[in-house]
């Protein structure tokens, strides 16, 4: 990879809000243009990302083991976890809805947790392994994060579908709270991570070369 002069090497830094350029020595002060705090990197980025990520990982298991909702009809009641709900929808012939629920509630959260875990570990050990690919993966997590509330929307959609049945009732269970917390915590972990940290070890490596 050809060496590229970075903002840090040029002795400048960018305002995170208005993109104004300031001398690096202004770190910790306020931007003259918009008043935002100036930092060369997000303060305590790794520690905050680790905290949100570990909390999300701890809640992911109960989010999938605990029941997420109980549905009741004149014929009785049924309690479902996320996975049993997917199986129920598939067996009922609602293949598209089952696929959406499976991707939004199981595949995407695992993908976000796995990528964020890989990113914080590689940054922690100052790895120079495939920085371009890791930056792209972070971009994918950010893009998916914008649609994270789809997971919650799917739960609401399920409740709506059940309510279409005559005299049906829906009661949320503890799994729904854990699942919502996982969604919010992964979004906070992604927002706390500073992707520029991926490139910092590479800059140090170039200086030594």
pLDDT of amino acid 162: 56
User: pLDDT category, 103, cuts 50, 70, 90?
Assistant: confident
β-pair partners for 21? 14
Q: Dihedral (C-alpha) 11, 45, 141, 8: value to the nearest 10 degrees?
A: 10
**Cβ proximity of 150 and 181 under 8 Å:** no
- What is the arrangement of strands in the sheet containing 76-80, beginning at the earlier edge strand? 76-80, 69-73, 169-172
Where are the extended beta strands (E) located within 74-181?
Answer: 76-80, 169-172
Distances (CA, A) of 51 to 46, 72, 117, 179, 195: 9, 38, 11, 17, 17
Q: Give the H/E segment covering residue 45.
A: helix 45-65
Map residue 126 onto helix, strand or coil. Answer: coil
Distance from C-alpha of 185 to C-alpha of 169, rounded to nearest angstrom: 30
Angle at 153 between CA 98 and CA 63, to 5 degrees: 75
pLDDT greater than 60 at residue 90: yes
Collapsed DSSP state (helix, strand, coil) of residue 92: coil
Q: What is the pLDDT of residue 166?
A: 55
Q: What is the pLDDT of residues 13-64, one digit of tens each?
A: 888 888 888 888 888 888 888 888 888 888 999 999 999 999 999 999 999 8
- 125-178: pLDDT as tens digits: 999 899 999 999 999 998 886 666 665 666 666 666 655 555 667 677 888 888
Mean pLDDT of all residues belonging to the chain: 84
């Amino acid at each position: 990879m050809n060496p590229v002069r970075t903002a840090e090497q040029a002795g400048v830094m960018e305002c995170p809000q208005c993109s104004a350029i300031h001398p690096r020595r202004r770190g910790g002060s306020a931007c003259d243009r918009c008043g935002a705090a100036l930092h060369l990197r997000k303060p305590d980025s790794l520690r905050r990302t680790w905290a949100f990520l570990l909390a999300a990982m701890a809640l992911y298991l109960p989010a999938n083991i605990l029941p997420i909702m109980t549905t009741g009809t004149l014929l009785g009641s049924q309690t479902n976890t996320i996975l049993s709900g997917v199986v129920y929808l598939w067996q009922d012939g609602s293949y598209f809805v089952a696929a959406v629920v499976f991707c939004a509630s199981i595949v995407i959260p695992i993908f976000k947790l796995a990528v964020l875990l890989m990113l914080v570990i590689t940054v922690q050990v100052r790895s120079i392994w495939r920085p371009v690919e890791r930056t792209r993966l972070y971009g994918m997590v950010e893009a998916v994060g914008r649609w994270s509330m789809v997971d919650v929307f799917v739960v609401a959609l399920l409740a709506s579908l059940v309510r279409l049945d005559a005299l049906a009732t829906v009661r949320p269970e503890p799994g729904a709270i854990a699942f919502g917390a996982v969604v919010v915590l992964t979004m906070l972990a992604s927002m706390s991570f500073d992707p520029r940290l991926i490139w910092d070890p590479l800059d140090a490596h170039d200086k030594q070369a």
